[in-house]
Amino acid sequence: MELVRYILRRTILSTFVVVGVTFLVFIVAQVVPSDPAALYAGPRPTAEQIEKARQELNLDAPLAERFVTFAKAMAAGDFGVSYKSRRLIADDLRAYLPATLELAIFSTGLALLIGIPLGVLAAARQGNWPDRLSSLGSIAAVAMPTFFLAMILQLIFAQWLGILPLSGRLSREISIAAPLPMITGFNLIDAVLAGRIEVVGDALKHLILPALTLASYPAGVAMRLTRSAMIEILERRHVTAARALGLSEPRILFGHALPNAMGPALTVIGLSFAYALTGAVLVEIIFAWPGLGRYVSEAILAKDFPVIAAVTMVVTICYVVMNLLIDVAQALVDPRVALS
Amino acid sequence: MPLLEVRNLSVTIPTPEGDVHAVRAINLEIEKGEIHGVIGESGCGKTMTGMTLLGLAPKGARIVADSLHFDGEDLSKNAERLRGRRIGLISQDPAAALNPVLSIARQMDDVLRAHRNMSRQARRAEASSLLAATGLPDPQRVLKSYPHQLSGGMQQRVVIAQALATGADFLIADEPTTALDVSVGAQVLALLRKLVSDRGLTVLMITHDMDVIAEACDRVTVLYAGLSVEVGPVGEILQQPGHPYTQALLAALPDAAPHGARLAAIEGSIPPPRSGIEGCAFAPRCPKAMPVCARQVPPKRLAEAHRWLCHLPASAP
């Protein structure tokens, strides 16, 4: 009951965030020193062409009216047309967003699976070699620039060992000779839906290196945070009590102490997921991953405002949903969260 | 043979600033079926003794004893195996002893799963009946709760039920009533007494509260500065304390002072835990101290069923 009320409250707050961002995006577009009509009209437009574009884009209407039109379109998922390519932005997003989400979800999962158990291990063996080793590893993971790590991984696993593909989302034999039907845009899901299990393997192989590259930073941070939280929790009396009750050490670490120590790591993972949505430009470029980061950075350079607005909105919503999920996860792990 | 026999136990914790003598020389003899009180001021080694018996002394602590036996088994080797199977802990502050993020059902179930080979349903039923045995009304509701939803007294009953769930027959109760209201504390003591007689348990009751000793214990060992200085049946010790420290403790009880009079206190403080002790540890604070007390370790005195360490002969009150 408390949990339901808590989720409702968080959802309502989240809606405000989305509305606020819509407003901000619109305002920023008005403030940026560029003439959308001139951009829209194409290269070297005549004054007439610009005027025509201005009317087509309804730029002469009052600000408030245009905001309402803008917000309505956003709510309907109608992101308009790219100034540059004249393509429907919604179509572009349908292609790029699943690729990015696939990568972001996979790398976030990896970060959790690597960072948290290592943090627990390091705390349990505080001061001994597993602690020193994973602490060193986490510093390296956090300090290493992504482009460098990406290239090192490519060198080792693609060039030398030859066990993983260099880049792309699927092997050429599949993407060209026998492409997947695009149902959800998530290769893993589409392959399962199409009943082509061999493609699942291929898609996974392509995911590993970029996901690992993206996961390195959040995994390192999650490890440090889990370690310090666990060290504090392991000093608590209920851990001594659990030992006195004869529970096994793994049970105490993972079943009793870890649920108390998950909070900070979960928060960081949420932030890094948001970062992975658009901040992963370098990783996407190095691994030829057709994702949002590349799409939006090109749009920014071209001042292609509708694309920027659309991506900002979509990312905001993904981020808000992710945060909501993390809030719920934290309330599930610690029932006291729902009370505050 | 006593259930628990501790002879000349010392626990020393090395620190960068020098060794801390948490326990210097403690003797304990606990018979099966008794509630044995251990009383002393903070820092006298009560809790450290309990933790040592559970094999939970801090890492690096040096534990030395002439004898450290539980039911014939050497605790210096087997504490870890006996912990949670035969020896249980009821710890000080029940709110801190329960995991705040796990339901009571989970916490009871984990204990049962670690010690009993039972099906899920059987464990659930057992958890519920153990909670009922500690006098909790509506065990089903308690099982569904989280610690923060229970009162202190209910939490302490859950902690006791957990200790029972392990199947342990020797419980170390470390200040089980300190964190509770006086009336709730009295109920918990009554519950412990009942469990001892119903289930044949033995309890080591660590406390700094003479009232707890008087209310719940059969025999008592008095600790001072990591030493056991007096032991005997509770009635006898309350009436004719042998050691001047025990006498001072009893005189310091508010009930002992006439109404309106200034309450008695023991002047001075316990010897610092890092220093060694020569002669009698209590000598610097003892109103009856003699020159010999500072030089020589006091001899053992006997009167009726109880004994203590003092230079003063037994006859002197």
Interchain CB distance below 8 Å, A240 and B100? no
Q: Is residue B99 assigned to a domain? A: no
How close B8 comes to chain A (CA, Å)?
Answer: 24
Q: Is residue A298 assigned to a domain? A: yes
Question: What residues pair up with B301 in beta bridges, in sequence order?
Answer: B308
**Residue A248 belongs to what domain range?**
89-144+215-339
CA B77 vs CA A215, A250, B73, B166, B185: distances in Å = 45, 22, 8, 20, 35
How close A176 comes to chain B (CA, Å)?
Answer: 52
Q: Residue B32: is its pLDDT beyond 90?
A: yes
Interchain CB distance below 8 Å, B56 and A243? yes
Q: Check residue A155 and give its pLDDT.
A: 92
Of the residues A245, A248, A256, A339, the best mutation for testing chain B's interface (the one with the most B CB atoms within 10 Å of its CB) is: A245
Count how many domains chain B has: 1
Nearest Cα residue in chain B from A249: B114
Q: Check residue B48 and give its pLDDT.
A: 92
**Residue B192 belongs to what domain range?**
4-86+168-309
Q: Are A21 and A309 in contact (CB under 8 A)?
A: no
Q: Residue B70: is its pLDDT beyond 80?
A: yes
- For residues A10 and A320, what is the distance between their CA atoms, to the nearest angstrom? 10
Q: Check residue B91 and give its pLDDT.
A: 83
Q: Check residue B316 and give its pLDDT.
A: 47
Q: What is the mean pLDDT of residues B191-216?
A: 92
Q: Is residue A205 assigned to a domain? A: no
How close B163 comes to chain A (CA, Å)?
Answer: 7
Q: Are B202 and B169 in contact (CB under 8 A)?
A: yes
- Regarding predicted confidence, which is higher, A41 or B316? A41
Q: Is residue B239 assigned to a domain? A: yes
Q: What percent of chain B has pLDDT over 90?
A: 57
Angle at B85 between CA B83 and CA B91, to 5 degrees: 55
- Which helix or strand (DSSP H or E) is residue B25 part of? strand B18-30
Q: Is residue A306 assigned to a domain? A: yes
Range name among A100-109, A269-278, B150-159 with the lowest pLDDT average:
A269-278
Q: What percent of chain A has pLDDT over 90?
A: 29
Q: Is residue B106 assigned to a domain? A: no
Q: Residue A330: is its pLDDT beyond 90?
A: no
**A140 HSE (CA, 13 A, CB side):** 8
Q: What is the mean pLDDT of residues A145-166?
A: 90
Q: Is residue B195 assigned to a domain? A: yes
Nearest Cα residue in chain A from B95: A238
Nearest to A175 by CA among A202, A154, A201: A202
Q: Check residue B33 and give its pLDDT.
A: 93
Q: Check residue B294 and give its pLDDT.
A: 87
Task: Please tell me which of A71-75, A208-212, B270-274 the model is most confident about, judged by mean pLDDT.
Answer: A208-212
Q: What is the mean pLDDT of residues A309-330?
A: 89
Q: Are B158 and B98 in contact (CB under 8 A)?
A: yes
Q: Check residue A1 and give its pLDDT.
A: 72
Mark out chain B residues that contact chain A at CB-CB < 8 A.
54, 56, 83-85, 88-89, 91-93, 96-103, 110-111, 114-115, 146, 148, 159, 162-163, 165-166
CB atoms within 10 A of CB B66: 12
Question: What residues pair up with B174 in beta bridges, in sequence order?
Answer: B206
- Regarding predicted confidence, which is higher, B10 or A30? B10
Given A238, A247, A333, which is nearest B98 (Cβ)? A238
Range name among A83-97, A174-188, B124-138 with the lowest pLDDT average:
A174-188
Interchain CB distance below 8 Å, A248 and B114? yes
Confidence band, pLDDT 50/70/90 cuts, at residue A257:
very high
What's the CATH code of the domain at A278? 1.10.3720.10
- Which helix or strand (DSSP H or E) is residue B11 part of? strand B4-15
**Contact residues on chain A for B97, CB-CB shorter than 8 A:** 237-238, 241
Range name among A7-11, A169-173, B54-58, B107-111 with the lowest pLDDT average:
A169-173
Mark out chain A residues that contact chain B at CB-CB < 8 A.
236-238, 240-248, 251, 255-256, 259-260, 333-336, 339
Q: Residue B129: is its pLDDT beyond 90?
A: yes
pTM over 0.90: no
Terminal C-alpha separation, chain B: 32
Q: Check residue A212 and give its pLDDT.
A: 92
Nearest to B149 by CA among B102, B189, B109: B102
SS3 content of chain B, % helix, strand, coil (to 5): 35, 25, 40
Helix segments in chain A, DSSP class H: 2-31, 36-40, 47-56, 63-75, 89-124, 129-143, 146-153, 172, 187-193, 197-234, 237-244, 249-250, 258-278, 281-286, 292-301, 305-333
Q: Check residue B317 and give its pLDDT.
A: 45
Nearest Cα residue in chain A from B57: A240
CB atoms within 10 A of CB B117: 8
What's the CATH code of the domain at B291? 3.40.50.300
- A61: which 2 tokens? 């209407």
- B285: which 2 tokens? 């604070």
How close A329 comes to chain B (CA, Å)?
Answer: 13
Q: Is residue A76 assigned to a domain? A: no
- For residues A96 and A318, what is the distance between their CA atoms, to the nearest angstrom? 14
Q: Is residue A220 assigned to a domain? A: yes
Q: Check residue B315 and give its pLDDT.
A: 58
- Chain-centroid distance of CA B162 in Å reads 18
Interchain CB distance below 8 Å, B159 and A238? no
Q: Is residue A241 assigned to a domain? A: yes
Q: Check residue A329 and give its pLDDT.
A: 87
* Residues 6 or more apart in contact with residue A57 via CB below 8 angstroms: A36, A37, A40
Q: Is residue A126 assigned to a domain? A: yes
Q: Are A23 and A67 in contact (CB under 8 A)?
A: yes
Q: Are A309 and A93 in contact (CB under 8 A)?
A: no
Phi, psi of B301 (to 5 degrees): -115, 145
Count how many domains chain A has: 1
Given A240, A247, A335, which is nearest B111 (Cβ)? A247
CB atoms within 10 A of CB A246: 24
Q: Is residue A167 assigned to a domain? A: no
Q: Residue B270: is its pLDDT beyond 90?
A: no
**Contact residues on chain B for A333, CB-CB shorter than 8 A:** 101
Nearest Cα residue in chain A from B114: A247
Q: What is the mean pLDDT of residues A246-263?
A: 91
Confidence band, pLDDT 50/70/90 cuts, at residue A226:
very high
**Contact residues on chain A for B165, CB-CB shorter than 8 A:** 245
Of the residues B98, B101, B158, B204, the best mutation for testing chain A's interface (the one with the most A CB atoms within 10 Å of its CB) is: B101
Interchain CB distance below 8 Å, B83 and A246? yes
Q: What is the mean pLDDT of residues B61-86?
A: 89
- Which helix or strand (DSSP H or E) is residue B237 part of? helix B234-239
Q: Is residue B294 assigned to a domain? A: yes
- B49: which 2 tokens? 């003794």
Q: How many CB pairs under 8 A join A and B?
A: 80
